[in-house]
């Protein structure tokens, strides 16, 4: 699937440092499993093909949470636990990413102008919490499928959204020309 960002890429270091700082300093939650997962999520979602990686039975990208939920139900009927788990994990990842980094998008979804958007009535936080909880219950016996991690993500979803909000603030600040000039002065 798509392009993978190499392990030593500067983007991984940037997102890793910002996530660790936000979760440790601002939230007082220095959980390396959670910060590692969230920073990897940020790196993975820098590619749009990863953001919309789930495909329906016709092979088309699924780009709304409502359609993702439908896909999880279709897979439940087909008794494919791996597929159900992957779809719910993606729902958790997608809703966390959007709620944490793009809260203005969620506010816009609820505005009168987008009343016909499929996700108009979806509560991203409740849906993300529920999906990570399902992933934790399904589990898997590999390093990536550590059920306690997904249980933590489910139980602390709002905290993770807040942590990503701090990451977003840091990213916004880094784009400020005054920050750029100060950084250049200090580093040169």
Least confident of 6-20, 45-59, 90-104: 45-59
Q: Where are the domains of the chain?
A: 10-187
Residue 57: Cβ within 10 Å count: 9
Nearest to 141 by CA among 81, 79, 69, 72: 81
- Predicted local distance difference test score (pLDDT) of residue 157: 98
Mean pLDDT of all residues belonging to the chain: 86
User: Coil, helix or strand for 61?
Assistant: strand
Q: Which residue has the higher pLDDT, 185 or 147?
A: 185
pLDDT (average), residues 160-187: 86
Residue among 182, 63, 61 nearest 119 (CA):
63
pLDDT for the residue numbered 145: 46
Report the range out of 49-63, 97-111, 158-172 with the highest average pLDDT: 158-172
Q: pLDDT band at residue 163, thresholds of 50, 70 and 90?
A: very high
| pTM of the shown model | 0.85
Give 55's pLDDT tier (boundaries 50, 70, 90).
confident
**63: which 2 tokens?**
């780009």
**Residues present in the chain in total:** 188
- In this prediction, residues 58-74 reach a mean pLDDT of 83
Q: Which residues pair with 61 in a beta bridge?
A: 55
């Amino acid at each position: 699937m798509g392009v993978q960002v190499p392990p030593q890429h500067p983007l991984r270091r940037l997102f890793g440092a910002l996530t660790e700082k936000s979760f440790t300093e601002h939230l007082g939650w220095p959980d390396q499993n959670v910060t590692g997962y969230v920073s990897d999520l940020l790196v993975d979602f820098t590619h749009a093909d990863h953001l919309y990686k789930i495909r329906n039975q016709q092979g088309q990208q699924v780009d709304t949470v409502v359609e993702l939920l439908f896909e999880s139900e279709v897979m439940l009927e087909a008794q494919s636990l791996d597929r159900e788990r992957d779809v719910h994990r993606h729902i958790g990842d997608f809703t966390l990413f959007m709620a944490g980094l793009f809260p203005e998008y969620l506010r816009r979804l609820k505005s009168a102008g987008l009343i016909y958007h499929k996700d108009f009535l979806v509560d991203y936080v409740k849906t993300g919490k529920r999906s990570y909880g399902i992933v934790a219950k399904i589990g898997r016996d590999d390093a990536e499928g550590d059920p306690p991690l997904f249980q933590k993500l489910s139980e602390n979803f709002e905290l993770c959204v807040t942590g990503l909000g701090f990451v977003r603030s840091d990213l916004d600040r880094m784009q400020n020309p005054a920050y750029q000039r100060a950084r250049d002065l200090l580093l040169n």
